[in-house]
Every structure is written in C-alpha cells, then in structure tokens.
Structure 1
Amino acid sequence: MGNSFVFIVNPNAKSGESQYVWKRVESILREKGIEYEVFQTAAPEHARKLVKTVFKRSDFNGIIVAVGGDGTIHEVINGIESNHLPVTCLPVGSGSDFARGFQIPRKGKNFYDWLIDSRYSLDTIDLGIFQTETNEGKFVNNIGCGFDAVIAGSVNASPIKKWLNKWKVGKLVYVFFLIRHLFSFKPTSADILVDGQKNIFENVWFLTISNHPYFGGGMKISPFSHPGDGVFEMTVVHNLPRWKFLFLFITVFWGGHTKLKEVTLLKGQEYVIETKEPQPIHADGEIVGEGSFRVQIEKAGLNIVKPLKEPLT
C-alpha cells in the first residue's frame, strides 16, 4: 500500500467537529509531504457518488478514508465497486461503531497518527449485501428492523442530536427516543429463513444481523460476532414485557442480554425476513426501507486498513 490517500470529509459530522479534525490532519499531511486528495460532502448520498468517481480512475492505488460517523462510512462502502482498494475511517460521530468493531482509535494521541505514519495493516472482512422491497445496497456493521430502526430514524431526523453533540453528550439522544417510543411501539410476528431453515417468532421488538459486536454507539448487541468468520449472527428480541425492555437496554452494553430467555441468537450466511406488520429497516443506522428484506454475506468482500496491534519499532 502506498502513502496516497483520498479523504471523504463529512463537514456536518458531530455538529461540525469533523472540520476541526480535518484541519489538524491536513496540516500534518502537508508538513510531512504526504500525497492526498480531499472531497467534502455536500448532501446525503454525496459520499457514495464521490467514491464512485475515485474508482473510475485507473491510476488511483491508495486508501480511501472516511472522516465522519457510521453514516459516512456506510455511504463510502456503498460507493465501492470492487474490493481491491482499502478503506478506513477517522471516526467523528456520535456512534462510531465501525471504529469500535475494528479497533480504530476514536480519540487521543493515536487518533490519526497511526494512519499518517503508516502504522497500519490490511485486513479482509466480510461484507453484507441487502435487498429491501424498494432498495438494495451493502452494510459493514449491521442491519435490522423494528424498534431499533424506529429509534435510528428518529435520531437521524432530529435537531436535538446536533444540540446534544455540541455539549458532548450526543449519545443521550438515543436514550431520549428510546423512552419516547417505548410505550407506543407495537411488536409484530416475524418469519425468518436462515440458510433455508424457517424460524417463527411472535411479538418481535427488533432483530439485528451483525458483522461485529457493536451497534447503537457502543452497545454490544452481538458479542460473538467476528467480521472475518464467513457468517453473520442474528439477535432476535421477542416476547419481552414492556417493563423489562429498559433492563435489556442496560445489559446490552456488556452483552448480558444474551442470557435472557427473550433473546434468541441465530447464525448463518443468508437471511430472509418477513414481518406481519411492515417495520422500518436500518443498515449501519441509516433507514433503507421497510417490510420484508433479504441479507447475504459476501465473504472477504472488503479490504480495510486498521492500526497495527504493536507499533513498528
């Protein structure tokens, strides 16, 4: 891998904090004489278009770096048309689950110097492919439907998130909307095919298919997931009394929810989900449709760059 970078900067990530981060990084790149290009996103889905433009150039052989949150890396992943060029991120977002899942520093002294000083390694991970009734695309963290997608949609559309980010407490917006929707959400039944095997669940609150353990800004929803093992894990929360949901929400931060009888874990390479009542669907926290959907795994479908476990000496 050469020391050539294309940075895709989301200037609105974490209420504009990404611009501050980018200015620091750019000054060091210039100081060290490192070759780079930078593109600023101007609207939703712009990052995807920018990456497609980069991939049309036959001369580019470097690293694509998303500067933003999980929504930015999701768009970048969906702009990639072949898996040979590596991607990574400098995480500036409220959630940053991609960074958690791949041990990329989210703050501190080593936030960006691992990348600039070439203290990184190339890893090949699995990639998710989804088809909804109206949409199709890729995901790298997780995909799901139900209560968590309702919260994700509300969070993404809310001006409260920007206000809380300014006070460094952006995660509280998830708690706010969880409580807001807790008493109005209606669970539904779901038929789930896992590698052709049918499973029927009643009163499903939500289901999540995971590529690594984290979702929702650090919740360990799928503690047994590994992004390079060739399978996805599904977490189904069903027949859960409303009063018990807050208890589950607390335990999910360390994976304790997996011991509850209302949580079922499944594992497979291909999923088909049909719910009795249409539910919103999210991929990497972005709403991508509602109703039935299909998920397949593309083994070793993405090259990513992440820090070396031990710095070079």
Structure 2
Amino acid sequence: MKVLTKAVRFHAKITEKGAAIGAETYQIAIGNGVHYGGGNVVEETAEIDDGHLDLYSLEMTNLWKLALMVRSFRSGTHGAWREVRTARCIEFDIETKKPMPVNTDGEIVTSTPAHFKVLPKAISVLAPPRALARQAVSPRWHRPMITSRVS
C-alpha cells in the first residue's frame, strides 16, 4: 500500500517494429522469459528461447485498480485488462522525458533511453548428453540397480 501511495505516472515512448506509441504509465516491464521480480509474470506464454521479448505497460488512470489486478500478475492474465498494454517483438526502444532507472534482475544497470533486443544464439551452452545430464541430477539412491543371482 505504501508503494501505491507514492507511485507516479510518467510519459514514455515505446517503439516496436518502427512504430512509436506514447504511453502514460506507472511501469514498463520487458522480459525474455515468463517470470520476473520474485514470481510475477511478464507473459504467460513466453519461453526463454522463443526469440522474442515480451512487454507490458501499466497504463491505468486509477492506480487503486491495481489492487484488483494483483492476482493476474502472478498468473500471467494481466494482459486481459484494458489498462495493460502488451506487446511481443524482437526489439523495443523506451524513451522518457527525464531519465528513468532500468532495473535488471534487481540491479539498476542504466537509465532511459534504453534499447532492448533479442540476440539469437548470442551465447553457447555446453551440456552433457541427455543421459549423462539425467544421471548427474538423479540422486544415487534412485538409480536403478542391476543385480545378479547365481544359482
């Protein structure tokens, strides 16, 4: 409740696919996967490797309506509210009149204007073959044992 009483809307220009949209918003969230911020959902159908970023913007005039929406942010259904703008794209630009902090995984890393873009195959991940990976995470006492009996 304390956070709600201090929240202030700000003007942002959201650019996606070359088209700019003005927004009066309390928050803009962009994610490469489903979750952020301790279990909140950016987009319920997002996947870390789907090649897209998902965005939502809280564009309500009455912030107290957020109290009715809280559960939808945990389940990922907040996009059904008309006060929540959603978008999916490979690239977003966010501009604000005054620089606004950009929070990444709990750390302020930069400020607006900010550019967000998916870089497919930007990192290589080395992992053991599937059978070895399963064996590595399986506790020892759950592995099948082979025994033999001599008659």
Fold-level match, TM-score > 0.5?
yes
Which letter does structure 2 place at the counterpart of 1:268?
Answer: C
Deviation at 1:230, TM superposition (A): 1.5
Picking from 185, 191, 196, the partner of 2:7 is 185
Deviation at 1:240, TM superposition (A): 4.3
Picking from 173, 197, 207, the partner of 2:28 is 207
* 1:180-217 Cα distance to aligned partner (Å, 9 max, x none): 22111211111111131211212x01111111110111
Other-structure match for 2:19: 197
The structure-2 alpha-carbon separation of the partners of 1:181 and 1:277, relative to structure 1 and needing over 3 Å to count, comes to: farther
How does 1:139-158 map onto structure 2 within 5 Å? none
TM-score, normalized by length of structure 1?
A: 0.39
Contact 1:221–1:253 under 8 Å retained in 2: no
Other-structure match for 2:48: 227
Contact 1:228–1:300 under 8 Å retained in 2: no
Contact 1:270–1:296 under 8 Å retained in 2: yes
- Cα distance in 2, alignment partners of residues 302 and 278 from structure 1: 30
The structure-2 alpha-carbon separation of the partners of 1:303 and 1:240, relative to structure 1 and needing over 3 Å to count, comes to: farther
- Cα distance in 2, alignment partners of residues 290 and 301 from structure 1: 23
The structure-2 alpha-carbon separation of the partners of 1:209 and 1:278, relative to structure 1 and needing over 3 Å to count, comes to: same
Residue 253 of structure 1 aligns to a residue whose secondary structure is helix
Deviation at 1:311, TM superposition (A): 3.6
- Cα distance in 1, alignment partners of residues 92 and 13 from structure 2: 10
Contact 2:4–2:64 under 8 Å retained in 1: no
Gap regions ≥5 residues in structure 2:
136-143, 145-151
- Cα distance in 2, alignment partners of residues 233 and 221 from structure 1: 7
Count of matched residue pairs = 133
Picking from 66, 76, 80, the partner of 1:245 is 66
Which letter does structure 2 place at the counterpart of 1:241?
Answer: N
1:290 aligns with 2:111: yes
* 1:42-87 Cα distance to aligned partner (Å, 9 max, x none): xxxxxxxxxxxxxxxxxxxxxxxxxxxxxxxxxxxxxxxxxxxxxx
TM-score, normalized by length of structure 2?
A: 0.76
Structure 1 vs Structure 2: percent identity of aligned residues?
Answer: 23
Contact 2:42–2:55 under 8 Å retained in 1: no
Which letter does structure 1 place at the counterpart of 2:95?
Answer: E
1:217 aligns with 2:45: no
- Cα distance in 2, alignment partners of residues 289 and 206 from structure 1: 16
The structure-2 alpha-carbon separation of the partners of 1:303 and 1:247, relative to structure 1 and needing over 3 Å to count, comes to: farther
- Segments ≥4 residues shifted beyond 4 Å: none
Q: Going by fraction, where is helix more abundant, 1 or 2?
A: 1
* 1:262-293 Cα distance to aligned partner (Å, 9 max, x none): 11111111211112343221112211122311
Picking from 57, 72, 92, the partner of 1:271 is 92
Contact 2:37–2:105 under 8 Å retained in 1: no
- Cα distance in 1, alignment partners of residues 61 and 79 from structure 2: 13
Which letter does structure 2 place at the counterpart of 1:183?
Answer: T
What do you get for the CA RMSD once the two structures are aligned? 2.4
Contact 1:205–1:240 under 8 Å retained in 2: no
The structure-2 alpha-carbon separation of the partners of 1:260 and 1:221, relative to structure 1 and needing over 3 Å to count, comes to: same
Gap regions ≥5 residues in structure 1:
1-178
Which letter does structure 1 place at the counterpart of 2:4?
Answer: L
Residue 71 of structure 2 aligns to a residue whose secondary structure is helix
Picking from 61, 68, 77, the partner of 1:256 is 77
Deviation at 1:221, TM superposition (A): 2.4
Give the structure with higher Rg (CA).
Answer: 2
